[in-house]
Structure formats: structure tokens, C-alpha cells
Amino acid sequence: MARSLHLWLALLFAIPVLVIALSGTILAVKPVMQAYSSAVQPLAGLSAATVLQRVAEANPRLTVERVRVTPSGVVMVKGKLGSRRVEKPVDVQTGALLRPQKDNGFFTFVRDIHREFLLGKVGRYVSLASAAMFTIMLVSGLIMLLRQLGGWRGALQKIRGRRANWLHGVLGRALILPLIITAVTGLYMGLVTQKSVPSGAEVRPYYPETPAELAPVLAHDLAGLKAQPMDGLQELLFPIPGDWFDVFALKTNTGFVFVDQFTGETLSTTSYSNWQVALEWMAVLHAGVGAAPWAIVLGIASLSVPVFLVTGVLVWWRKRQPRIAQNVRADIAEIVVMVGSQNGTTYGFARHLHRQLTQAGAKVRLEEMNAAKPAYPKAKTMLALAATYGNGAPPQNANRFCERAAKATNWPDQHAVLGFGDRSFPQFCAFAQAAEQALPGKPLLPMASIDRQSSQSFTAWGRDLSRVIGLDFTLDHQPKRPKTAQLTLTERIHFGAGISTPSAILRLRVTGGRLARFRAGDMIGIYAAPNAAPRIYSLGSCSADGFVELCVAQQEGGLCSTYLNHLELGKSLEAYIIPNPGFVMPPRKRPVMMIGAGTGIAPFAGMIRANGSNRAIDLFWGNRHPDSDFYYRQEISQWLADGRLTGFYPAFSRTTPGAYVQDQLTQKGDLLQARLRGGGTIMVCGSQRMATAVRTRIDALASHIGTSLAELRRQNRYLEDIY
């Protein structure tokens, strides 16, 4: 609902909101100009009496009637100078009258546009409605942003997506607070103007009279004016000449003060009402009156509104459902492909699947999950490609799928579900799991998942699907190719010769283009051929190392792993960085337990290498045989010697007796429990099979100290990078 509301309000109120925003940007310049006016002087330490005395001495012919302090801090004096009435700024140090600054008619014109669109009373109603709708747009936008980031806990997480999506999200996170403030305060002030909300000025303060006529006294000799600081004064009205009943009336930052014109005694004080205080604050928060730094923030925020409108249109345009070639009717479809996609990326995978199945001879129907029909009379198989949005939420076009599945009357009795998501979020592929449970019939395959649009995972799922449904097709879809840099191989160490499984540690340097900054644990996409889909590997180095390091095991039939294991020194390849913010060293210097197998040691090697603070790090790592694939053997010895690595616990499966990394966890259970009690974090990198076994052991060990795997995940103390 939030997305639909956000979209329709943006479409309906785009023009008035744009006019208000641009005029607001211009008006925000005025408080800044006023703050840097030459007439602005420090008022701290000065009393009203002191300034009045200086004015009287410097201007003996001036009869003062009013003193006013503008929000920017300029002291204005109004009165009669000879036969002329004047209002001029004052130099508070000398009392001299300064040249008055002419009011800029341009700002008045822009203000009228901002408040009423030059339409008078009708325009004020339009402005008020636009402020209300803009407030709703911002609140719905905040809801959507938090969903995208996985809730408040993920509010500072890196925002990903195409340029328009990314810019929309980044600006939204940076400027949502000042935008909401300016919208809400504008709405409030509009309601005050329409008298729907009290201003507080409706009730006048009690205005006393002087008790008795005495000998005249100079204003600067009065105790009440000597006690009034100038930096707390807004306005001072003099008594009417010759009217001994009248008094000095002061409007201060806290309320009204009335002073006897003969004795200087304070006759009465009246504090502002809550409505008046609220309106004063609304003026400051909405327009930056007297607060130049805040006015700059408001100006930037208002200037961002056109950018929001443009990027919002681009995001909406890209998300429109494209026309699908050879998409058969629901009543004749043999295979139904359902897709739940938030930003359109998962839709691209679904269209590729539809095309490949169609070319293999199947009659295929592709549609959004929310458009699912009650019956597909001839369909034998349903395939669901479901993205998870934010912290476990369904995409907008799939939020009613489970409800529709419960009401289905004739759906296929077999299905397969493929989840798309980001492992850095705690609820990775949670909606795909919900869809799996909602679908009737039996699963053709266990639910599979795609982490950050991994093409190789999609291809692997396609091989399994091709086998179980008996159709010959290959899935090889790659989203839009990112900007790459050229890397050249400078060093390679070979492993695996004794067990017929080649692997290597490779070091490369950037020799062309620009590679984004990266940390150990981030990932890199590598193109083995110009038209090939990239393959993703964990990085074993950081930008500060000055090189890119990978640990790659050659897979049977693996195009990229074979290419890398046989790449000649001096040869180059194309690559790009994929940030992995959910798999980085914890910010606080508490213990870290690293658990991996095989090439999963790569990110840990980079993290340990960068452990200059000597944080306690324990490495649990398993592979096949120490004589053939003991990665980083010499480096580990050095890291143990210099304190960058605290403990190392290897496990090799093809020795006698053989062991796996989870066995070492059991043997060192006391150490793990002690580290967890000390606030330690567990990081796991490697295959899904290994990770499953590790989860079981960690959950059992954690239960003995009053916690659990789920609780460690919630606290971001159990991090995984699984492939």
C-alpha cells in the first residue's frame, strides 16, 4: 500500500510540490544573506538600556518610538528624526544609525508563489493540500526505504541498485528528516493561516497602566531596561509621549514584560502560550528564520525534490511489466512461471527462464505473483521466482500471493521455488520460503536461493530443473554488465596436484580503468570471456594491500575456474567489485572466530593480514590433505608468530584419521563458548554443506551458555558467506 500511495500522490501533486520546493529553495537563501549582513552584530553582554543610551548620545535629535531585533540579529530603531519618521539599523557599539537595507521585492514575489501560487485565497488551499500530500509521500517513502534496508537496524546499510534507484535511496536516507520537518511545519503553518489551528495571538496579554505620574526619567536609566539583555529581546515599544498611563512594552524570547515609565519597575510579565511557542518554532524549522545553518540544510533538501521526481519516474518506468513474447494463455499453459520482483532484476531472470523453456518446446505462462489465476487447468508444473524485499517482506507485486495460493482451485501438483535476495540481510529469501510453504502439491526440487543475482547459481538451478522436468535447456542469464577494470595476473601459487583437483592462489593488479575500493570479504565478478557471464569470488585482500587476491579451485566443467587456473602471468581480465557489507570484521575489538573450508579461507586471509590491532582471532579451517592443498601455510605460521592470528585449528579429511572443520569445533567447544561469552563474533565462509554442519554444532554449543544461533544472528554475531 505504501508504494502505491507514494506513486499516485507523486503523480497527482508533482507540479505543485515542485513549485513549492523550488520556491522554498530560493527563500532559504534569504536567512543566509541576512545572517551575513554587515548590520548583524553580537548582542551578548549588552542590555537594552546600554543600547538606548548609545543611540541617544549619537543621535540627540532622534525620538525613539520602537526598537526591534530581527531574527538574524539586526537591531532596528524606529522614531522621529526632526520632522521625518525613520526606521534604520543601529550600530550597537556606537549608537550610530546605519544605511537601511532595501527589501528585495524578488523574495516577496517568490514568497507569494510559495504560499498561494499567486492565486490568492484559492492558492492557499492548494498549498495546504500539497503540503499534506507531500507529508504523506515522505512518510510512505520512509516506510519503503526502511523495508528496503531491512528495518531500523539496517538503516545505515549500503544502498544498492541502478543509478536512479541508488540516487533515490541515498538522497532519501540523507534528506528524509529535513524534508519531513519542512513538510509538517508547512502544513502546520498553513492550518494556522486557515484558522484551523490557534496561533496563540487570539488572546492578548494583560496590559497594565502606570500607577502614578512622577518626574520624567530617561529610558536608559530605568532598572527594568537595564535588566533586559539585548540577545533576549524581540521588540521594545515606548510609551505614547505625554500619556503618563502608558508603559514600556517588551516582547522577549519568553513572553511579554511591562515596565513602569517613571520607576523602571516591572509591572507584569506574561509567558507565551503553548500555541505561540509552537508557531515560533514552526517558523524557525520551516524557513530557517534566524538559523542560517538550518536554512542551508532546508535549501539543499528542497533542491533535492526535483531529483526525487526525476529518479522516481525512472524507477517507475523501469518497473513496468514488459511485454512477453510467446506468453501463452493461462488455460493452455503447461508450465506456469510466477515472478515476484521488487526492482525488476528478478523479472529479468524469469523472462530468460520463460524464453528458454519456450524454445525447449513447452507452453509457458509467465505472470506476476499477484496476478495468479485461481486455476491453470492444463499446467503440470509451477515455477516460482521470488525476491525478498528488505527484512523478509514480499515484493509489491507478490504481497497477495500466499493468500491467492490458499484460494487456488486447480493449480499444478508439482512446483519448484527459486529465491532471490541478499545474504547480508537476516531474513535472506524469507518470502521465497513463505511461497514454498503456500504452494500446493509436492516440490520437484528443494528450494534454492540466489545471492545478489548470482548467474552461476541460476545456471546450476537450471541444470537441476532441466533434469527433473525432462526438457533440454540451459539457463545463462546475466543482468546488465557493470563497469569493469582491467586486472593483470602477477603471481600464482598452484595447489591440488596430489589429489587431481587443481587450485590456486592468484594475485592481480589493476592495469586499466578504476576498481572500486574493497575490503577482504567483499566479492569480485570476473569475466572469463567477453560474452560470458561473470563468476563471483570472495576477495582475500583489501584496497590498502595494493593487489587483488583470489583463491580458486578448478571445478569440473567450470569455465571461469579453469580459465583462472590456467591464466598465464602477464595476461589480463575484466572484473568489478561487489560490496559485501554483511561479511566484514566487527567494528569493536572483540574476539572473532573464523570458520571455513577449502577456498572459503580467502576472505579470512585478507582480514587476518589486516589485523594490525592484534584482535583475538581463531581460525578453524578444513580441506583435503595438508601436502596438496594447505592454502596460506607459510603466512599462517607468520601470523601466529606476530600475533595477528591467535589460534589455528586445521582439519583435513583425507588424512588418517580424517576430520572435518565441524569436528574441530566440538573439540574446541570450551574455547568457542568462552569467546562467545566475551562478545565474540562467528564468521563462516564456504560451501552450503559445510555451513549446514557448522550451524548445527554452533547452535548446540551456544545453547550451553544460554544463547542460540538465532540470537547470535539477531545480534549480527553470526555472519555467513555461503556458496
Q: What is the pLDDT of residues 214-238, one digit of tens each?
A: 998 999 999 999 999 999 999 999 9
Is the backbone of residue 326 left (phi > 0), alpha (psi -120 to 50) or beta? left
Q: What pLDDT score was predicted for residue 602? A: 95
Q: What pLDDT score was predicted for residue 596? A: 94
pLDDT at 30 exceeding the cut of 90: no
pLDDT at 377 exceeding the cut of 80: yes
- Report in angstroms the alpha-carbon separations of 415 from 397, 439, 441, 459: 20, 8, 7, 18
Count of domains observed in the chain? 5
Distance between CA atoms of residues 55 and 58, nearest Å: 5
Q: 36 in a domain, yes or no? A: no
Name the residue with higher pLDDT: 195 or 146.
Answer: 195
Domain hosting residue 400, numbered range = 335-469
Q: What pLDDT score was predicted for residue 150? A: 62
* Lowest-pLDDT range of 391-400, 576-585, 592-601: 391-400
Residues 495-512, mean pLDDT to the nearest whole number: 86
Q: What is the pLDDT of residues 324-372, one digit of tens each?
A: 888 999 999 999 999 998 767 898 999 999 999 999 999 999 999 988 8
| Residue with grid cell 553470526, as numbered in its chain | 718
Q: What is the pLDDT of residues 442-477, one digit of tens each?
A: 999 999 999 878 888 999 999 999 999 999 999 988
Q: Are 425 and 342 in contact (CB under 8 A)?
A: no
Distance between CA atoms of residues 406 and 660, nearest Å: 44
∠ CA 492-498-499, rounded to 5°: 100
Do 615 and 691 belong together in one domain? yes
In the sheet that holds 572-578, the strands lie side by side as: 535-538, 523-527, 572-578, 485-495, 503-512, 548-553
**In 320-429, alpha helices (H):** 345-359, 401-407
Q: 699 in a domain, yes or no? A: yes
What is the H or E stretch that residue 141 is in? helix 121-149
Residues 69-83, mean pLDDT to the nearest whole number: 91
Q: 225 in a domain, yes or no? A: yes
Sign of CA dihedral 273, 278, 279, 281: positive
DSSP at 444: S
∠ CA 685-686-692, rounded to 5°: 95
Q: What pLDDT score was predicted for residue 43? A: 92
> Which residues touch 514 (CB under 8 Å, ≥6 apart)?
485
Which amino acid does the sequence have at 88? K
Distance between CA atoms of residues 60 and 81, nearest Å: 9
Residue from 41, 44, 45 nearest 96 by CA:
41
Q: What pLDDT score was predicted for residue 391? A: 61
Residues 167-176, mean pLDDT to the nearest whole number: 86
Residue from 181, 269, 274 nearest 232 by CA:
269
Q: What is the pLDDT of residues 659-711, one digit of tens each?
A: 899 999 999 999 999 999 999 999 999 888 898 899 999 999 999 999 999 89
Do 310 and 172 belong together in one domain? yes
Distance between CA atoms of residues 462 and 640, nearest Å: 44
CATH code of the domain containing 563: 2.40.30.10
Please give the full DSSP string across 177-221, using - where no structure is assigned: HHHHHHHHHHHHHHHHHTTSS--STTSPPP----SS------GGG
Do 624 and 506 belong together in one domain? no
Q: 558 in a domain, yes or no? A: yes
Q: 570 in a domain, yes or no? A: yes
Do 416 and 465 belong together in one domain? yes
Distance between CA atoms of residues 448 and 457, nearest Å: 9
Q: Are 502 and 554 in contact (CB under 8 A)?
A: yes
Name the residue with higher pLDDT: 316 or 519.
Answer: 519
What is the H or E stretch that residue 477 is in? none
Q: What pLDDT score was predicted for residue 1? A: 64
Do 513 and 426 belong together in one domain? no
Name the average pLDDT for the chain: 89
Q: 458 in a domain, yes or no? A: yes
Of the pLDDT bands very low, low, confident and very high (cuts 50, 70, 90), residue 201 is confident
Do 253 and 181 belong together in one domain? no
- % of residues, the chain, pLDDT over 90: 54
Q: 462 in a domain, yes or no? A: yes
Q: What is the pLDDT of residues 522-541, one digit of tens each?
A: 989 898 877 678 888 999 99
Q: Tell which of 521, 549, 578 closes a domain.
A: 578
Q: Which long-range contacts (CB under 8 A, 24 or more apart) does 716-720 make?
A: 716/586, 716/681, 717/586, 717/676, 717/679, 717/680, 717/681, 717/682, 718/681, 718/682, 718/684, 719/582, 719/583, 719/681, 719/682, 719/683, 719/684, 720/423, 720/583, 720/683, 720/684, 720/685, 720/691
Neighbours of 65 (CB within 10 A): 17
Cell of 475: 539457463
Do 191 and 306 belong together in one domain? yes
Distance between CA atoms of residues 116 and 194, nearest Å: 12
CATH code of the domain containing 650: 3.40.50.80
3-state secondary structure of 684: strand
Q: What is the pLDDT of residues 148-171, one digit of tens each?
A: 666 676 667 667 666 777 788 888
Distance between CA atoms of residues 341 and 349, nearest Å: 10
Residues 628-653, mean pLDDT to the nearest whole number: 93
Residues 31-47, mean pLDDT to the nearest whole number: 86
Q: Tell which of 217, 238, 272 closes a domain.
A: 272
pTM: 0.52
Q: What is the pLDDT of residues 394-445, one digit of tens each?
A: 887 888 898 888 888 889 999 999 999 877 666 789 899 999 999 988 999 9
Q: Please report the beta strands in 222-317, taking only residues with DSSP state E, as ranges in sequence order.
A: 233-237, 248-252, 255-259, 266-271
Distance between CA atoms of residues 679 and 615, nearest Å: 13
Q: Tell which of 547, 578, 609 closes a domain.
A: 578
Neighbours of 304 (CB within 10 A): 20
Burial (Cβ within 10 Å: 0-12, 13-18, ≥19) of residue 317: exposed
Do 526 and 504 belong together in one domain? yes
Q: 528 in a domain, yes or no? A: yes
Neighbours of 40 (CB within 10 A): 16
Do 8 and 111 belong together in one domain? yes
Do 360 and 462 belong together in one domain? yes
Do 392 and 346 belong together in one domain? yes
Do 545 and 630 belong together in one domain? no
